[in-house]
Each structure stands twice: as C-alpha cells, then as structure tokens.
Structure 1
Amino acid sequence: MNLFNNLTGKQHGGYSRLQNGGKATAAFKTAADCSTFLLLFTVLIFCVLKFLFGDIKYVLVPFLLIFFLGLLYKLQDRLLYHPEMPANSSLYVPFPSHLPHEILRLKTEDGEELHGYFIKKQENGSTSPTVLYFHGNAGNAGSPCTLPLNTICGCNVLVVDYRGYGKSTGCPSEEGLYIDGKTCIEYLRTRSDVDPNKIILFGHSMGGAIAIHLAAMAHGEEYRIAALIVENTFTSIPDAAQHVFRGILPGISKLPIVCYKNKFMSIDKIAKVNVPILFICGDKDEILDPNMTRILRNASDNSHTIFVRVPKGSHNDTWCVSHSYYKCVSAFLAKVFNEDIVLQNRSTEQASMEDILIDKPTSELVLTWKSEIIAT
C-alpha cells in the first residue's frame, strides 16, 4: 500500500484539467484557438443572411446563435480530450520495467497506430483472465493503477494509448475510440497465450463509456467478452457536462443533445450488456456525480452485478485509497469464472445482500450478485 499512497497525488486520468478553477481557463483558451475559423465562418453566414433578409434585426439573432453553437461544437473536443495532461504525456509513457511485458503497435481499421503494453502473468498466463484497460480522458497507457491487476489480481493486462494520446497516432473522437477498443479485442483474440473466454473490459471515467459501448456490442463470437468493470464513470456526456459546468454555464441543461459532438450515451447502452458487471464508485468524486455509477447499475437490467463503494475515493485515486479495492476485483473475477468456488469455506447464501464492510483478507471474501459493498 505504500506504493499506492505515494502515487495518490499523481494525476493519471480523468477530468484533471477541469479541476481547481481550470474549467473557465480551458474554455477561454479553447475559444480563442477556435475563434479565427468561426469568425470567418459566421461573417460569411452574416453576409448571406443580410443578403436574404436585408433588415439587420432579422439577421443579428440567428447570427449570434449560429456563432455560439458553432463555437460550442468546435471546442468540445478540446474540453473533453486531454492527451497533454499531465505535462509531457505525449512524450513520456511510463512502462512496467519490473514486470514481463511487451511493447505493442496495433493497427486500426482506419489506419491509425496504437501504442501500448501487454503485461503477462508469469505463471499460467494462458489460462488466466486478461484485462483490457481503458484509461480516462487524460494521461496515457502508463497509468500505475493497471499494475496491481497483474501483481495482485493475477491477470494479464493490455493497456493502450488512445489515438492522439501518448505515442499513438491520430486525433481522438468518440467513434475513433470505439474503433481503438475493438482493435484491442481483435488483437487479444489472435494471441495463443490469451484465453478468449476470459477477456474482461475495465474502464475508468471516459474509459468506462468505451468499455460499456464495447460490452453492449459484444454479442457475437468475434467480440465476445466475459465481464465488465467500470469505475467512476458517467451516464452520458450531456449529463456529465451539466454537472461539471453547472456553475459556469447554468443554461447548459437546455442544450439539445444534437449540439453535443461527443455523446457517449452509456445510459442507453448499459441494459444491452449481458455479462457480469462490477460497478466501482468513489464517494468523494470531485469531478463527476458519484450517483451516475449507481444510476447505471439501476439501469443495467442485469442480475449479475456487484456495486462497490469506496468512501474515501475521489475521481482519480479510488484505486489506491482503499485496502480492499483489489480484493473486491479479485473476488469478482473468481465469482465470474467459477461460481462453484467461493473464497471462503461457506456457501454464498450466508453472505449478506445488504452492505458488506470489507475488512477481511481476500481468502475470506464472498460476493453475491446484486450486493452492494463498502470497501474501506
């Protein structure tokens, strides 16, 4: 846990740029970057409207509306995707030098090249679960939270830089990130040392939306997965924007969904996920509304779910402030892959369906579907 505590202060994903008053700064900087193009475009629109209608009073309102909506649409990518955060993330991607790993370059169907790592379990790797990890909207494949998935949970781990992030090529977009995720699943299914029946999708924050999308689409043999894990994620970008910018743009809730370039509508997809789901939520998430994770769980229409609350967890450090975090992940995986085996010598019927305070060693932890767990 000392390693985890030392890493707590590092911004390794999520909406880092929007913290500590950075929302307005980022918005104004992005608006300035976009203004030249939009000014020329809207001047052209103004001239067209003036030619068609003549009277200035019939031109000014639509002109300003078009300018505002165009500016908002143009700057959305800059507000959502932060491959430059933390500083030098596009130049330096930490790698797990102390663990057996491969440096990968994966080609996507639309010609981009994804950089990433495959961390292999040292013993019985070909029969162990494999976690495909999706990081948040900042950072890169070097996030330290993936390492315990190998060292503690006993999984192979694949993590990549999204397009436009780290050492990958291209520019991020919602559809592009879905293609990146699909590329990773296809790659894992080509490896002879990966059990194709034990692939788990794990997404943090924006990565949770990518994982949910892929899990909802994974009904065919080609993209089949075994389980889904999401942590501190959101119901949709419109919902997240309303929460993040509620103090700056109070009228954002009135904005039609068509005005959102990136939507990530997880709330509409979660019910289509038919594999076991582990929902993890940090109660002290300072970026997203923690209730969004619970809303997703309630909308999942899935009898094989487990909900884990981390009372001290904020948006980026939930994984390292709880001694029980990876115990819960390990117990979830044990339940997914062998329901006849529990981690304690007693039947699952003896486990409470109410909140369970996790203060026991992993070997004594029993999970039941539809339970809610408090991980201290």
Structure 2
Amino acid sequence: MKHTKKVAGLAGIASVLWVGLTAAVAASQKRLLFNPLGSKREVLRPYSSGHRTRPVVIRAKDGTRLSGWLMTPPIHGPHPAVIYFGGRSEEVSWVARDAGKLFPGMAVLAMNYRGYGDSHGDPAETHFVDDGRMLYDWLAERHHVDPKRIAVVGRSLGSGVAVQVAMERNAHAIVLITPYDSILAIAKRKFKAIPVEYVLRHRFESVKYAHHLKAPTYVLRAEQDDVVPHSHTDLLVEKLGQLHADEIVPDSDHLNIPYLESTQQRIAGFLAQRFDLPPVAANPVASDPAAPLQPNS
C-alpha cells in the first residue's frame, strides 16, 4: 500500500510539473519564437552604393507604424523589385547596406516586423503575413516598380512569411534562405514531452502552402545549421510547386549565410536571370558551383 501511494505521489508530482512546463511554454511562446529585443539596428546609417536609399514609414491596415528602407536604382524605371522578410532576431538595416550586391538593378523594400527596429506593435504570425501582403501591394503601386516582376525573399523565420505572401500574390520569383517545413514541427522536435500542437499559436506551416507556389523557388541551405535541420528543409522542398534549385552554401551556418559573398552572388544571379537583367559579374569566391546536396542530409 505504501509503495502504491508513493508511486501515485510521484505520478502526481510529474503531472504537475508537466502541466506547469506546458503552461510555461504556452505563456512564453512569443519570447521563444520572436526576438525583437535583440534586433538593434545593425547599420547606423544604411546606404546602398548601387541604389538611392531612403527610410520609409508605412502604416499597416490597423494603423501600426512600420519602418524600414526603400532602395531604387539610380536610373529611370520601371524596375523589377524585391521585398525582403527577415529572421527571428533580425533587424534589416544590413539589407540596405548590401543591396548593391544582393539586388543590383532592382528596387528593394526591407521593412522591420512589428516590434523590431523602429517598427511599432507586437510580433505575431498573422500580423507578419497581413503586413507582408500589404507591403507587397504598396511596392507594386510605386511608379518606378514593374508590378509584374516582384520577387519575395525570406530568411529563416521570414521564409514562412515569404511563402504565405507569395501564395496569395503573383510573385515572379521566390528565394528561401534556410527555410523549414513548419515552426510547429521544429517545436515538436525540440519540446518532445510537451503537446505543443495544442498551445502553439504561431505555427508558420509553410509545408501546407508550398504546393500552391507557382513561381520558380530557389532554396539556399546553410552547410552547418543547428537551428533548422536539413531534414525540415527536405520536407518543404518535396512539396514546392516549382523548385528552381536547392543548394548548400559552403562554409555557411544559420547566422552568417545571408552575409556571405557566395550567398549574395547566388541570389543576385538567380534574380537577374528571372528578371532578364544583365548577368551579374562573377566573384571568384562565389563562382564555384554549389556544394552537391547529399541524400538524407
């Protein structure tokens, strides 16, 4: 009898701990998923050597103030254009700095998410996607932009935003940097003892939308990625409606991949081809072919 009571008592304690841990994850999921406090401006005075660069403030449909940068080529348009969606902890001023290498000859809109950088509001999947569609439409209405040639580029968390925006807008091309099948799947892998499917509100389930994408999609993976395992990218790639290429960037990890010259040359070359722009001059560092993708990597 004493043994039975002891076992029952331990089971009760375990249940309480399990419920408490589940509740803690549910309550802190915004902090776990979004990290706007770590998104201080990367570049104090963002400026693209290949564009006219200006800060812009755009109001979301609910009036929330969103801040970022619009870059336009110095010659008359209309130009092909790119809208960029950043990662979990990413402040996007660096895009304005590097736009000349990443997006030569293209108009570029890089806006900080709600709660990031100088943007107001609270982070949430629904806000990110709704704002993304609005920003796409705003960019398409600029007189110097060709509305039929707009690409979406998303990095890490932002790949989930890019997929959903591209699904509902007529994107001309899509670039996904270290993308995943879903945040829900990654969370279930990380918190195996917790029923995250019942508590996670921001799921970013790209794998559900991937087959709807009609534009050529270019996937870039980090060689070493301990945030988005390649198996989670595999599941997304299998579902993509029109895969252009799936490449690993040598000597890259989840954090440094967008800043590498090799990555930037690959993206610039793909978009220039899609937009029928003059070929991007090859950089010796970036001219090597992509590392072959190994089965089950």
| TM score, norm. by length of structure 2 | 0.82
Structure-2 residue corresponding to 1:332 = 270
Aligned 8 A contact 1:307 1:373 in 2: no
Aligned 8 A contact 1:84 1:139 in 2: no
CA offset at residue 177 of structure 1?
Answer: 0.8
Measure the CA separation in 2 of the matches of 1:79 and 1:160. Answer: 22
Aligned 8 A contact 2:150 2:172 in 1: yes
Structure 2 matches for 1:331-350, cutoff 5 A? 331-338=269-276
Structure-1 residue corresponding to 2:72 = 120
Structure-1 residue corresponding to 2:47 = 96
Q: Deviations over 1:352-374 (max 9, x none)?
A: xxxxxxxx937xx99xxxxx943
CA offset at residue 310 of structure 1?
Answer: 0.6
Structure-2 residue corresponding to 1:273 = 213
Judging changes above 3 Å, is the alpha-carbon distance between structure 1 residues 298 and 147 closer, same or farther for their aligned structure 2 residues?
Answer: farther
Structure-1 residue corresponding to 2:174 = 228
- The secondary structure found in structure 1 opposite 2:253 is coil
Measure the CA separation in 1 of the matches of 2:44 and 2:57. Answer: 14
Aligned 8 A contact 1:90 1:165 in 2: no
Aligned 8 A contact 1:135 1:206 in 2: yes
Structure 2 matches for 1:1-376, cutoff 5 A? 67-86=20-39, 89=40, 94-96=45-47, 99-124=51-76, 126-144=77-95, 147-151=97-101, 153-218=104-169, 224-243=170-189, 245=190, 249-252=191-194, 255-302=195-242, 304-321=243-260, 323-338=261-276, 361=282, 373-374=290-291
CA offset at residue 318 of structure 1?
Answer: 1.3
CA offset at residue 293 of structure 1?
Answer: 2.6
Equivalent residue letter for 1:225: A
Measure the CA separation in 1 of the matches of 2:92 and 2:184. Answer: 26
Measure the CA separation in 2 of the matches of 1:259 and 1:134. Answer: 25
Measure the CA separation in 2 of the matches of 1:343 and 1:155. Answer: 13
Q: Which residues of structure 1 form unaligned runs of 5+?
A: 1-55, 219-223, 345-359, 367-371
Q: Deviations over 1:57-97 (max 9, x none)?
A: xx9888666544332211000111111115xx179865227
Equivalent residue letter for 1:70: A
Q: Deviations over 1:253-278 (max 9, x none)?
A: xx252321210001111111111111
Normalized per residue, which structure has more strand? 2
CA offset at residue 288 of structure 1?
Answer: 1.7
Judging changes above 3 Å, is the alpha-carbon distance between structure 1 residues 78 and 90 closer, same or farther for their aligned structure 2 residues?
Answer: farther
Q: Deviations over 1:213-272 (max 9, x none)?
A: 111122xxxxx22111110122111222245x3xxx4424xx252321210001111111
Instruction: State the superposition RMSD in angstroms.
Output: 3.2
Judging changes above 3 Å, is the alpha-carbon distance between structure 1 residues 141 and 229 closer, same or farther for their aligned structure 2 residues?
Answer: same
Q: Which residues of structure 2 form unaligned runs of 5+?
A: 1-8, 293-297
Judging changes above 3 Å, is the alpha-carbon distance between structure 1 residues 259 and 129 closer, same or farther for their aligned structure 2 residues?
Answer: same
Moved more, 62-71 or 167-176: 62-71
| TM score, norm. by length of structure 1 | 0.66
Measure the CA separation in 2 of the matches of 1:129 and 1:361. Answer: 21
Q: Deviations over 1:69-126 (max 9, x none)?
A: 332211000111111115xx179865227552121111111221100100111234x2
Q: Pick the structure with greater CA Rg.
A: 1
Measure the CA separation in 1 of the matches of 2:110 and 2:28. Answer: 28
Percentage of matched positions with identical amino acids: 22
